[in-house]
Amino acid sequence: MAAATQAAAEAGADTDAAVIRASLADPDRFAVIYDRYAAMLYRYAYQRMGPGIADDVVAEAFLAAFRGRASYDLGRQDARPWLFGILTREMAAHQRREKARYRAMARSTHETVQDSPDDQVTARVVAGAARGPLAAALAGLDPRDRDVLLLVAWGQLSYDEVADALNIPQGTVGSRLSRARRKVRKALEAYDEI
């Protein structure tokens, strides 16, 4: 029985909360959180904002997380929603650039065609044709609705995790997501036929 208790305690020592707690005494321990989640946050930021800004906002988010680790709720074992919340706030600081990028993508008509099977060519052509309207639809969304939509679609967070990340009720997540999906779907109606 003692061995099972010790194994459970050792497993708990690797939770995000345990690592953050340990980092309060030994700041170098926070690198574990970075190693666990930097790639995930970068992928999300890259999809939202592009490579140039993604590096910056992820770095800013981890710096903010490191500085704010003393206020982390140690009752939450998973730090992902907390980190995504910080990242979302950092991205909001770059919102004007993000919106300008979506507008530029909407004006872009660049399509790439490769020698490949017919299905892949068709998929690329359809995706390239829908890129501008999709970017325009994303740019036209209320920033709060866009944050929820992209945290679910690109960040792959659950409704609960989005609610934690943005500090909003789960019902608000649902209504914002529904509204954003409806607007994007309407903008892409012409591409459903292809």
The reply to whether 79 and 129 lie within a common domain is no
- For position 8, what pLDDT does the model report? 37
State the residue range of the domain holding 123.
115-194
- For position 19, what pLDDT does the model report? 97
- For position 115, what pLDDT does the model report? 46
The reply to whether 81 and 145 lie within a common domain is no
The reply to whether 119 and 89 lie within a common domain is no
Domain containing residue 167: CATH number: 1.10.10.10
The reply to whether 119 and 186 lie within a common domain is yes
- Tell me if 132 is assigned to some domain: yes
- Tell me if 105 is assigned to some domain: no
- For position 25, what pLDDT does the model report? 96
Contact status, residue 194 vs residue 126, Cβ threshold 8 Å: yes
Residues 6+ apart with CB under 8 A from 134: 184, 187, 188
- For position 192, what pLDDT does the model report? 54
Nearest CA-CA partner of 152 in 171, 177, 175: 177
pLDDT tens profile 82-124: 999 999 999 887 766 567 667 777 766 555 444 444 444 444 4
- Tell me if 79 is assigned to some domain: yes
Residue 187's H or E segment, with its range, is: helix 170-187
Q: What percent of the chain has pLDDT over 90?
A: 41
Distance separating alpha carbons of residues 125 and 113, to the nearest angstrom? 7
Residue 3 pLDDT greater than 70, yes or no: no
Domain containing residue 19: CATH number: 1.10.1740.10
Entry pTM: 0.57
pLDDT tens profile 134-146: 777 888 888 898 8
Count of structural domains within the chain:
2
